[in-house]
Chains A and B, each alone.
Chain A
Amino acid sequence: MLAYHFTEMPYPYFPPEAEQEYGTPRVLLPNRFYDPKVGADLYNRYLDEYVYADELGLDIMLNEHHQTATCTDVSVNQSAAILARQTKRAKLCVLGTPLPHRDNPVRVAEELAMIDCVSRGRLISGFVRGVGTEVHPANTNPVLTRERFEESHDLILKAWTTQEPFNWEGKHWHYRYVNVWPQTYQKPHPPIWITGTSPDNVPWIADHEYVFAAFLMAYDDVTRLYDIYRRRTAEQGLPEPGNDRFAYLALCHTAETDELALEQGRELMWYLGRRRHAALTNPPGFNSVRTNMMMMSGIDKPRGDTFESLMAKGIILCGSPTTVAKQAKEWHNRGVGHLLMMNQAGAMSPEVTRRSMELFAKEVYPELRELDSHSRLGTGSTSAREPAAAVQQRVGNAEG
């Protein structure tokens, strides 16, 4: 099992009453509540913690959101580019680039290829559709996010694996000469990870043999999605996926004792406690009618849960090194090969965050690393793939 340090780079210092007034810390909370002097300190602090993760032997995960106090990393390419130079050994997992919202996929291919070269092949390229709140910052038609995701993905893959100029006249993007300099350092291209929250796009991920990442979901929900992935690979006659094909993101905190961890770790609840604006998180057409009807009939969500119930569901890993090792192994037993650790949220201090990272790296991680043999544990297949068109034909109308 591999472990990745992650923070959303939150800006928690807006007045709580402003979140009440505007109904959300996302998209509509006026940016006058952002103080760039405080923000400068925060950016440098968060980046320093990523460098520390590298020193501790942890890998790194980055994400991006837009127009929100909950996450001030506005570009995974930008933060990964900084860390490509400032770190020495860690994998740089960007999870990910919100493909529907990037109006120039060729530029995405270029920037990621540059990061892969600068880091000498440490990039893991995650692609995401982006959550509903990303629709307005980019002003992307919510109904088109899936098809834009797929076309952008196909174009980037072709740009990474074609060694001469080619033509692209798709539905959403048109280029006469795609010819990305530099090439990717990893061949045929960096590992690709995709996130999913519903059965809608899991078969597509399985068909491409990409790493499937689930975020902050309960054991049973994750198991259900992993099973869909496994069934699909079997149906398609693909090799059985190992643990290296499955990633899971949890809120994580390790301290000397269970008592201290439970006291300090509660700070992570800041992330889950932010107000959700129903019209922003689920704009019409962002989710299919079927999914919307399922959501209205009620499914298990982390909202409204207590810290303890979230621990029971596996969404929070928290405790002494012994306890956290046990919790992490439970996920490993359920198929997880990549543990994505949200080690920082809200106003959790650098001291508490670093101590947690250090304890995990020194007292938990050695045990977890031995769970998978090194020959099997990679960061996802980079084998050559059949052309996207062939996959499309085989997959039929699978959503992505």
Chain B
Amino acid sequence: MAEVCVEATAEHVEMQSVVGGDLEVFRGGTGPNLILLHGSYGWWGWEPIHERLAERFTVLAPVHPGFGHSSRLPGIDTIDDLAYYYLDLFAAWNVLPARIIGFGLGGWLGAEIAVRTPAAVDRLVLVDSVGIKISDRETRDIGDPYILIGDEQQPMFWHDPNANRVPLPLPGLPEPMLERMLHNAEGGMYYGFKPYMHNPKLRQRLHRITARTLVVWGDDDRIVAPSYGQAFAAEISGARFTTIPNSGHYPHREQLDRFLPPVVEFMS
């Protein structure tokens, strides 16, 4: 797995002044606009996925309020709030109808945006998304890495945990990254604690989505199984489902070369 480059992060980050605070946005590249919505562990900087997509697109990767260096914003307390917030922000950025790739919690957010204002989303890629409830009340669909101590979490995220690491907020992490990852962990809890990483109403609303939709899944995702992804895709009219071999929850990090072709083709 390619490392996050500190210099590239500094080059591509910008702080936008918004009502109630600042919003951190990673931006780069030229071409059609492409919005990337991060998951519950946030962006780790300007990542290889950003760099590669920026070869073909104008990449806009906002850091959700409360994550990273984005302020928690007054009144923005839930995924529901975030969905409306981004609808307004994307309109202000003049990027509607949007092409959105959402990862994990960001996929949940992308789906919430698309069910609220279907015409606002042109193309939607959901990558190992959370957000819906599919099993009975005593079966947890979405794995809980938060209950594991430190690096005990690593195997939940990767097909090959020996070759990949989440930069968890533990002693020893360089301070700027530590601060970023602590905010990311807090943000994930803030929006996803209860109900755990899903909206019980979302599944029954997915039929509203009109965007062309691709659902991409790591074939060895240990947070949300591929069967969950298939159930997600089944509710969205015309959605295609595909898996990425030898990948866990983060195919865009663990198998970037395999992840890019179907996604780039879909977005082009």
A binding-site residues for B, Cβ under 8 Å? 23, 136, 139-144, 277-280, 283-285, 289, 292-293, 296
Contact of B179 among A142, A143, A284, A293 (CB under 8 A): A293
Contact of B193 among A143, A277, A278, A279 (CB under 8 A): A143
Nearest A-chain residue to B188, judged by Cβ: A284
Interface of chain B, main secondary structure: helix
Give B contacts to A, CB under 8 Å.
146-150, 169-171, 175, 178-179, 182-183, 185-186, 188-190, 193-194
Given A283-B146, A284-B185, A285-B186, also A139-B194 (CB < 8 A): yes
Contact B169 A279 (CB under 8 A): no
Please judge, given known A-B contacts A277-B149, A283-B146, A284-B146, whether A289 and B182 are in contact too, CB under 8 Å. Answer: yes
Sorted from nearest, which 3 A-B pairs have the closest CB atoms? A284-B185, A285-B186, A141-B193
Chain A binding surface SS class:
helix
- Nearest residue (CB) in A for B185 is A284
Instruction: Give the residue of A141, A280, A289, A293 whose beta carbon is less than 8 angstroms from that of B189.
Output: A141
Least distance between A245 CB and chain B CB atoms (Å): 33
With a cutoff of 8 Å between Cβ atoms, the chain B residues found around residue A279 in the complex are 146-149
The reply to whether A284 and B189 contact each other, CB–CB distance below 8 Å, is yes
- Identify the closest chain B residue to A279 (Cβ): B149
Cβ distance B227 to chain A, nearest Cβ, rounded Å: 26
Verify B186–A278 contact, CB threshold 8 A: no
Q: Which residue from chain B places its CB closest to the CB of A141 in the assembled complex?
A: B193
Distance A144 CA – B187 CA, assembled complex (angstroms) = 11
Q: In the complex the two chains form, is B150's CB within 8 Å of A142's CB?
A: no
B119 CB → nearest A CB, Å: 32
Residue of A nearest to B66 (CB): A143
Rounded to whole Å, the gap between the CB of B85 and the closest CB of chain A is 17
Q: How far is the CB of B173 from chain A (nearest CB, A)?
A: 9
Chain B residues lying within 8 Å of A140, measured Cβ to Cβ, are 194
- Are the C-beta atoms of B186 and A293 separated by less than 8 Å? no
* A177 vs chain B, min Cβ distance (A): 26
A141 vs B185: C-alpha distance when bound (angstroms): 13
Partner of A293, one of B146, B182, B185: B182
CA distance A283 to B185 in the complex (A): 9
Note all chain B residues with C-beta closer than 8 A to A142: 189, 193
Of the candidates B146, B170, B175, B189, the one whose C-beta lies within 8 Å of that of A143 is B189
Distance between Cα atoms of A139 and B146 in the complex (Å): 13
> Once the chains bind, are A143 and B190 in contact (CB under 8 Å)?
yes
Check B194 against A141 for contact (C-beta < 8 Å).
Answer: yes
A23 to chain B: which residues have CB within 8 Å? Answer: 149
B170 surroundings in chain A (CB, below 8 A): 296
A283 CA / B146 CA spacing, docked (Å)? 7
List, sorted by A's number, 14 A–B pairs whose CB atoms are closer than 8 Å: A139-B194, A141-B190, A143-B189, A277-B149, A278-B149, A278-B150, A279-B148, A284-B182, A285-B189, A289-B179, A292-B169, A293-B175, A293-B179, A296-B171
Task: Write out the residue numbers on chain A whose beta carbons fall within 8 Å of the beta carbon of B178.
Answer: 293, 296
Which residue of the partner chain, among A278, A285, A296, contacts B185 with CB atoms under 8 Å?
A: A285
Q: A285 contacts which chain B residues (CB < 8 A)?
A: 185-186, 189-190
Chain B contacts for A284, CB-based, 8 A = 146, 182, 185-186, 188-189
User: Given A141-B194, A284-B188, A292-B182, 16 more contacts at CB 8 Å?
Assistant: A23-B149, A136-B147, A139-B193, A140-B194, A142-B189, A143-B186, A280-B147, A283-B189, A284-B146, A284-B186, A284-B189, A289-B183, A289-B186, A292-B169, A293-B178, A296-B170
